[in-house]
Amino acid sequence: MQVIAEGISHVYGPLPVLEGVDLRVREGEVLAVIGPSGCGKSTLLSILGGLLRPTEGRVLLQGKAPDGCLNPLTFVFQDFALLPWRSVAGNVALVLEHHRLSPREREARVQEALARTGLEDFAAALPKQLSGGMRQRVGIARALAVQPAVLLLDEPLSALDAQTRELLMEDFEALWMREKTTAVYVTHNLSEALRLADRVAVFSRRPGRLKEVVEIPIARGKRANPQAQAELVALHERLWGLIRLEAQSAVSELEDG
C-alpha cells in the first residue's frame, strides 16, 4: 500500500507548522523523516495516520492492504502508549478485541506478536514491571498483531538509552529484512535513518517544508560491510549538511525568542 501526501499544510492557531508537503511513501520502503526539532514531523505523521486533519491538502492511499491486515496505518509511539492496567498480552489483545476474530485466532495473533518481539515470558507482566526497551517492544508487538500495511513510527527509540536503542534497532533491521513492511520512521537521529531507511526525507525548520529526499542505495543487509562505509560516511555528511543550517537557525531562533 502506498501513502501519498498531496499539498499538505498545517497551522496550529497562528503557528504555521507544515507548508506544501508532497510526499509519496512507496510500497515496501522504509522512509525516514528527519528535520530539526519542532519542524512538524510528528504533525505530519499524525496527518498521514488520519489522527489529525490537515489545514490544507489531502492524504491518499493507493493499493490494497495485505490479507489479514486489520489496521492498515498503524502507529508505534514515542511514549509507548501502553495501558498501565493491562498486562503485556492484554495490551496487545486490546487492538484485536473489536475485530471479528475467533478466540483462537486472537490468541494466536497475540502469541505470535509476543514471540516476534521476544516477549513470550512477559505476557502476564504489567507495563510498570518492564524496562523502557521492553515497553517499546510491547508497542511494536501491538502494531505487528494487526499485520499493518504501513507502520508509522514517531521517534520510537528516542525515549530509550543508547544500548537499548541499539538492540531495538537490530530488531527493526531484522524485521525489515524478513518482510517488507512499508514504514515511515520519524527520527532526529541521523545514524538511525542511515541504518534503517531506504530513503530519507529531510525537512526544513518550522514551518516544515520537504527540502530533499535522499536515497540510500545500499541494501539494508550490507550496510555493516567495510565496503559500504565510505558511501555511508558520504551520505551522513550530505544529510548533516542539509539539516545543519536548519538546526542551527532553529536553535538560535529559540534563543532569540
Partner 1 sequence: MAEALQELRFRGGGFAPGRKRWAALVFFVLLIGLWQMAGTRGWVSPLFLPSPAAIASALYAEAIQGNLWTHLVASLQRVALGWLVGTLAGLALGLAMGLFTLARSVGVPLVSAFFPIPKIALLPLFILWFGIGEASKLVTIGMGVFFPTVVAAYSGVDAVPRNLVRMAQSFGVPYYAIIWKIVLPGAMATIVAGFRITVSMALILVVAAEMIGAEYGLGAFIISAGHLMMTDRLLGGVVCLSILGLLAGVAITLLERRLLHWR
Ligand X SMILES: Nc1ncnc2c1ncn2[C@@H]1O[C@H](COP(=O)(O)OP(=O)(O)OP(=O)(O)O)[C@@H](O)[C@H]1O
Residues making contact with partner 1 (CB under 8 A): 49-51, 70-71, 73-75, 77, 79, 81, 83-86, 94-95, 97-98, 126, 128, 142, 146
Question: Whose Cβ is closer to partner 1: residue 77's or residue 185's?
Answer: 77
Q: Which of 24, 26, 106, 188 binds ligand X (CB under 6 A)?
A: 188
Strand partners of residue 64: none
Inter-axis angle of helices 132-145 and 103-116, nearest 10: 140
Grid cell at residue 135:
515497553
Number of H helices, E strands in the chain: 7, 9
Size of the site for Mg ion (CB under 5 A): 1
Of 143, 146, 142, 150, the residue nearest 49 (C-alpha):
150
Among Mg ion, partner 1, ligand X, none, the one that 37 touches (CB under a kind-dependent 5 to 8 A) is ligand X
Q: Which of 9, 43, 91, 117 binds ligand X (CB under 6 A)?
A: 43
Grid cell at residue 129:
514491571
3-class DSSP state of 216: coil
Grid cell at residue 188:
532526529
Binding mask 142-181 for ligand X (x = CB under 6 A): ----------------------------------------
- 200 is an interface residue for ligand X by CB under 6 A: no
Spatial separation of the C-alpha atoms in residues 60 and 173, rounded to whole Å: 28
Least distance from partner 1 to the Cβ atom of residue 226, Å: 41
Q: Is 152 left (phi over 0), alpha (psi -120 to 50) or beta?
A: beta
Measured CA angle at 86 (ends 107, 166), to 5 deg: 85
Least distance from ligand X to the Cβ atom of residue 123, Å: 32
- 87 is an interface residue for Mg ion by CB under 5 A: no
Hey, which residues between 40 and 59 contact Mg ion (CB under 5 A)? 42
- 189 is an interface residue for ligand X by CB under 6 A: no
- 42 is an interface residue for ligand X by CB under 6 A: yes
Spatial separation of the C-alpha atoms in residues 139 and 134, rounded to whole Å: 9
Spatial separation of the C-alpha atoms in residues 108 and 194, rounded to whole Å: 34
Among partner 1, Mg ion, ligand X, none, the one that 54 touches (CB under a kind-dependent 5 to 8 A) is none
Least distance from partner 1 to the Cβ atom of residue 234, Å: 37
Measured CA angle at 22 (ends 213, 157), to 5 deg: 55
User: Which chain residues interact with Mg ion by CB under 5 A?
Assistant: 42
**Residues near ligand X (CB under 6 A):** 12, 15, 17, 37-43, 188, 206
